[in-house]
A = this chain, B = another copy of it.
Amino acid sequence: MFSGAQISLYPMADDFVRIILGSLSALDPYRSRFRIETDDLSTLLVGPPEELFPAMRDLHVAASRNNIHCVLHATVSRGCPGEPDDPICTPIEGREHGAPLATRIDAALAAAQGAPVLNQNVAAQLSLYPLGAGHHMDEIYGCIDFLKRSGVFGKSKNFCTTLRGDAGPVFATLGEAFLRFGSPEGHLALDLTVSANSPTAI
């Protein structure tokens, strides 16, 4: 199964180039397990689905240091039938995708509970797109139910759901949304925005 993300950092500051370049070392612990390619619009990460959200979290927290208002956007995908399988993307293991929604929600809640606290507050919004399945709204509603019980739920908005809290539990919750919903080998995409240090944060 192919899995990865196109990610972008938007530091709202004149010295955005220095801030972005200064944050990249946060990806060093992950580099050996990812294929990484950058252009002027985004950086591609291809690798194990379980490591995508920790890598994005560490990058975003690094770029948001010193109270910089910084947004990370990511287009995250797994199982796209238009992509070749890549050995670098290991299958999702031990997550019982065949289990009923209620069981998967409980498992996601339990898994996200162990998240580290990183002392960086963030607000996030996500849209989950299970593709090619007849019952995509069931999986979306199941995921929203999980998000509402996650402890970092913000609110429901048109087209997306928001989360608020420390970057540790927020990114852990986002990762569980990506890993536990949609069919196990199916095509799933996630449109993600995470914001730190907004002057209009609520």
Asked, given contacts A134-B132, A193-B41, whether A71 binds B10 with beta carbons under 8 Å apart, the answer is: yes
A177 contacts chain B at the CB level, 8 A cutoff: no
Chain A 124-143: CB-based contact to B (< 8 A → 1; otherwise 0): 11010111111011001100
Q: Which residues of B contact A2 (CB under 8 A)?
A: 158
A44 contacts chain B at the CB level, 8 A cutoff: yes
A28 contacts chain B at the CB level, 8 A cutoff: no
A41–B4 touching, CB < 8 Å: no
Q: Which of B11, B123, B131 contacts A12 (CB 8 A)?
A: B11
Asked, given contacts A125-B6, A160-B6, A189-B127, whether A200 binds B40 with beta carbons under 8 Å apart, the answer is: yes
Q: Which residues of B contact A71 (CB under 8 A)?
A: 8, 10
Q: Which residues of B contact A130 (CB under 8 A)?
A: 131
Q: Which 9 A-B pairs have the closest CB atoms?
A: A10-B10, A12-B16, A40-B200, A191-B191, A129-B129, A77-B159, A14-B14, A40-B198, A40-B201
